[in-house]
Amino acid sequence: MGLDLLADWDGKIFIVARPEDLVALGQAKIFFTVETAKFPPFAQSMAPPAGGGINGAYHSYRELEADMLALQQKYPGLAKVFDIGDSLEKRNIYALKISANVAFDEDEPEVLFLGCHHAREWISVEVPFLFGKYLLENYATDPEAKRLVDRSEVWIVPLVNPDGLEYTIHVYRYWRKNRRDNKDGTYGVDLNRNYGYKWGYSNNGSSPDPASEIYRGLQAFSEPETKAIRDFFLKKYFQGMITYHSFSQSIMYPWGYTVQAPDKDPLLRDIAARIAALIQEVNGRSYNFGPAGQTLYLTNGDTVDWAFGTSAIPSYTIELPPIDEMGGGFFNSEADIQSIFQENLPAMLYFVDRFIRDYRPQGADLGPDRPDKKFDKSSQIR
């Protein structure tokens, strides 16, 4: 039905509904209740604006930019910020690289962490960003952090959808897509349905309707944000990738477009099981795991299917807490940022480490790292 699915939990399906969705549900004789009343207007219910928005301790685009550049400044040998492309509204999409000898593309395993394809999923910015900060702040004192930074190249793109994020801060907290003007009175393409592997495979896993929250766009990679990720990805040799979303506490791997499992399913399952176990050890919270199409619902054109479909590397979507709408849905409290990061940290360390252990050197070092045509631009931004 092209619905914006949030969660399937305890025998109920949660969606964000447009008025016409409610009509369609009624016509299909599907029973529903509207829970809008649980979410009073944010002006009354949330903390006072910080820096001109409602985001509080969560990063806005400018705050994140400043914090990423501050890390580069504080740890010049270990951290470097790259501008890998512009959003539709001309904001920069930033990648933070963390490695010893950071200016050079060394013969080390590269691991990618992404955040915030979906604007309203604020916690998905914080977890990958805080991971980078953790590695840098602990490099000098923690042998394990040092070993990982010395022997790998960790890449973090915490904000794939900056236009959408700003829109959620200043206009509408529940916004999901980017800010594409679809020229029919509707806005937005779902960036996590716009990637080019099995794009538009079926109308279950994505929608051709521009008004839909899972609108896939006019063609694969029609959006500058997904194009930026594609072009960046194709210049590197990533060994593994995790893309963070919220919410539902799940760890998902390919395929999303079909309920069939890929050939590498045992390996993907092993890693997912380990991630889930490491997470549970911290706060006791359980994240379920499995192939995306079997675990949550069918999707096509998403990041993980594309990364796996083109590179066959272990690729995961992690849906962060809470587990359900009753637990707060997209509205994680500011106080939960640290605990959600902390419970994911051991799994992130493990994820990088396993590619170090498996890595077979590819030959000579590759010289200065230039994943980005605008290589020197980031150092000029203030």
Active site residues: 319
Asked if 180 interacts with Zn ion (CB under 5 A), we say no
x/- contact string, 60-99, with Zn ion (CB under 5 A)? Answer: ----------------------------------------
Smallest distance from Zn ion to CB 211, Å = 18
- Binders of Zn ion among residues 139 to 168 (CB under 5 A) are none
Separation between Cα atoms, residue 313 and residue 240, nearest integer Å: 5
Nearer residue to Zn ion within complex by CB, 177 or 245: 245
Query: Backbone dihedral region of 6: left (phi > 0), alpha (psi from -120 to 50 degrees) or beta?
Result: alpha
SS3 140: coil
Smallest distance from Zn ion to CB 69, Å = 26
Nearer residue to Zn ion within complex by CB, 109 or 301: 301
Asked if 193 interacts with Zn ion (CB under 5 A), we say no
Beta pairing, strands 4-9 & 12-16: antiparallel
What's 84-114 look like in SS3? EEECCCCCEEEEEEECCCCCECCCCCEEEEE
Nearer residue to Zn ion within complex by CB, 275 or 296: 296
| Of 11-19, 210-218, 245-253, 302-310: span binding Zn ion (CB under 5 A) | 245-253
Nearer residue to Zn ion within complex by CB, 125 or 135: 125
| Of 65-73, 181-189, 239-247, 276-284: span binding Zn ion (CB under 5 A) | 239-247
Residues 6+ apart with CB under 8 A from 281: 346
| Of 44-52, 71-79, 94-102, 242-250: span binding Zn ion (CB under 5 A) | 242-250
Nearer residue to Zn ion within complex by CB, 60 or 243: 243
Asked if 245 interacts with Zn ion (CB under 5 A), we say yes
- Binders of Zn ion among residues 103 to 122 (CB under 5 A) are 118, 121
Nearer residue to Zn ion within complex by CB, 118 or 354: 118
Contact 20, 212 (CB under 8 A): no
| Of 7-15, 22-30, 244-252, 372-380: span binding Zn ion (CB under 5 A) | 244-252
Smallest distance from Zn ion to CB 190, Å = 9
CA distances from 266 to 7, 253, 275, 282, 347 (A): 26, 11, 14, 25, 18
Separation between Cα atoms, residue 157 and residue 303, nearest integer Å: 13
Smallest distance from Zn ion to CB 245, Å = 3
SS3 291: strand
Nearer residue to Zn ion within complex by CB, 133 or 245: 245
Smallest distance from Zn ion to CB 187, Å = 17
| Of 63-71, 237-245, 263-271, 374-382: span binding Zn ion (CB under 5 A) | 237-245
- Listed in sequence order, the DSSP H helices in the chain are 19-27, 42-45, 61-74, 123-138, 143-151, 162-170, 224-235, 265-283, 292-295, 303-311, 337-358
x/- contact string, 247-286, with Zn ion (CB under 5 A)? Answer: ----------------------------------------
Buried residues in 33-59 as b, exposed as e (16+ CB within 10 A): eeeeeeeeeeeeebeeeeeebbbbebb
Instruction: Identify residue 378 by its one-letter amino acid code.
Output: S
Residues of the chain by 3-state class (helix, strand, coil), percent to 5: 35, 20, 45
Smallest distance from Zn ion to CB 319, Å = 7
Separation between Cα atoms, residue 164 and residue 172, nearest integer Å: 10
Smallest distance from Zn ion to CB 124, Å = 7
Contact 154, 62 (CB under 8 A): no
Site of interaction with Zn ion (CB under 5 A): 118, 121, 245
